[in-house]
Amino acid sequence: MMYICFMATIKFFIQSKNNPAGIYVRLREGVSVDAKAKTKFAINPSNWSATKGQPKNLKNEGFKKLHEDLASLRNTLLNHYNKSVGKYTINTQWLKDFINPPQQVGTIPTKLVPYFDYYSLHKKNAIGTTTYKRNRVYKHLIERFEKSAKRNFFIKDVNADFKLKFEEYCLKENYAHNTIARTIKFIKTICYHARNNGIETHFQLNNIVVKLEKVEKVFLSIDELKQIEKTKFEADYLQNAKDWLLISCETGQRVSDFLRFTKEQIRYENKKPLIEFTQVKTNKIMTVPLSRKVMEILKKRKGNFPRQITDQRYNEYIKEVCKLAGLTQKVKGSRRDPETERKETGIFEKWQLVTSHIGRRSFATNNYGRVPTSLLIGATGHSTEKMFLEYIGKTDTQKAMQLAEYF
């Protein structure tokens, strides 16, 4: 027997004038199907367009996110309907089970801190080691906040008041603004994930907005790289770190990738040396050309890359390399305080701001405007041009001035 999947109509609406008003979904198909159920979303009735069945002001970040969530719900519901026709009875209970899938009691945490582990477990194949560690840091910060507040927070407790109290706690503990902002953004990610798993969230969640403060993007200029290149080091570990630093500035790769380079990964195309590897963070296969400077480093090492070291030691050694190379000018930036292990912003000698990330940013910044942006993005592995430009700290004005040079 063959079933025909009819095109159902799906509309969103509210039934109350009270604030907040729950948003309902109605699915109809001819006269045989007419089901409605309450979604996990809510809104102030004054911000809802009854004629369009959506939020009024889509320029507002929170309402735009709500509109996108409703559109996603519409698409998944339609797919579910088409798969269910002929197999299940399509009625209100069927729709309610779709909106809130029956769960075994206790299988999904409803408290905020326990949900961090649930999230990491279900995302283990989608996030890298660094992201996993950072998420653990966020979790421990929430645990300290709960201890200070003398209460445990549920997913549904994350609202404007939660954000305010969390910010007050973090500022009292001298956390940097951007650390606070990134933590709140991740808490929202946790809550969105929980919502998609049927856990109740607060109606204010979508409207919780945080902004990152602009931080100076520190990189090594071409002249500074020449200065480092000319500096001779007696200690072998510093010469080794120096060569790795120069390689990172020439290839634009993450420390998790370039410190694992080996000569076996090199191949030639039309006599051009290329290195092929799989990025640790994204699992993406990359092919990157090796510059003349990189090949000179390999030549003096009899075709081998420098001796492999840990990320932590590399971070320590390149600071020493840059200090001995004379990069002692005072610049504005942020660094991790060696005593508190927290980010601090201020004026420091440049070598103090050097981290394993500086090679990738130096490559991108030094080649921007000289090499087509699309090729740079391909080399660095950024997903979009917007992400790439934010990474190197290019403003709209700077981009406009660069364009003006061609007129």
At 405, the pLDDT band (50, 70, 90 cuts) reads low
Report yes or no: 299 and 320 within 8 Å, Cβ to Cβ.
no
Radius of gyration of the chain (CA): 27
Residue 4 is assigned to a structural domain of this protein: no
Mean pLDDT of 94-115: 80
What pLDDT shows up at residue 18? 86
Q: Is 218 exposed, middle or buried (0-12, 13-18, 19+ CB in 10 A)?
A: buried
Domain identity same for 240 and 380: yes
Angstrom distance (rounded) from CA 25 to CA 11: 6
Q: Is 190's pLDDT higher than 90?
A: yes
Three-class SS of residue 113?
helix
The whole-chain average pLDDT of the chain stands at 87
Tokens read off for 191: 């809550």
Residue 167 has pLDDT above 80, yes or no: yes
Residue 215 lies in a domain: no
User: What's the confidence (pLDDT) of residue 224?
Assistant: 96
Distance CA 52, CA 43 (A): 15
- The distance of Cα 350 from the centroid of its chain, to the nearest Å, equals 27
Q: For 315-371, how does the pLDDT look when each residue is reduced to its tens digit (9 = 90+)?
A: 999 999 999 999 999 988 888 777 666 777 788 999 999 999 899 999 989 988 888
Domain annotation covers residue 213:
no
Q: Which amino acid is at 32?
A: S
- Please check whether residue 2 lies inside any domain of the structure: no
Q: How far apart, in whole angstroms, are the C-alpha atoms of residue 178 and residue 342? A: 11
Asked whether residue 107 is domain-assigned, the answer is: no
Q: Is the pLDDT of residue 103 over 60?
A: no
* pLDDT higher at 379 or 17: 17
Q: 184, 207, 230 — which closes off a domain? A: 207
Please state, in angstroms and rounded to a whole number, the distance separating the CA atoms of residues 63 and 37. Answer: 21
Share of the chain above pLDDT 70, in %: 91
Question: pLDDT for 121-146, tens place per residue?
Answer: 888 767 766 777 888 899 999 999 99
Does 180 lie in the same domain as 266? no
Q: What is the pLDDT of residue 2?
A: 41
Looking at residue 3, what is its pLDDT? 41
Structure tokens at 8: 């159902």
**DSSP states along 278-319:** E-TTT--EEEEEPPHHHHHHHHHTTTPPPPP--HHHHHHHHH
**Looking at residue 150, what DSSP letter applies?**
T
Asked, for residue 214, whether it belongs to a domain, the answer is: no
pLDDT of res. 381: 73
Q: Hey, what are 357's tokens?
A: 């990330």
The tens digit of pLDDT for each residue in 253-286 reads: 999 999 999 999 999 999 999 999 988 877 788 8
- Residues 65 and 155 occupy one common structural domain: no
Same domain? For 399 and 285 the reply is: yes
pLDDT at 204: 94
Query: What pLDDT, on a 0 to 100 scale, did the predictor assign at position 5?
Result: 45
Question: Global pTM?
Answer: 0.59
Residues 221-261 have pLDDT tens digits of 999 999 999 999 999 999 999 999 999 999 999 999 999 99
Q: What is the DSSP letter of 252?
A: -
Structural domains of the chain, count: 3
Q: Which whole number is the average pLDDT over 32-59?
A: 91
d(CA 282, CA 286): 10
Domain range for residue 154?
112-207
Other Cβ atoms within 10 Å of 351 Cβ, number: 18
Looking at 207, 232, 260, the residue that finishes a domain is: 207
pLDDT of residue 160: 95
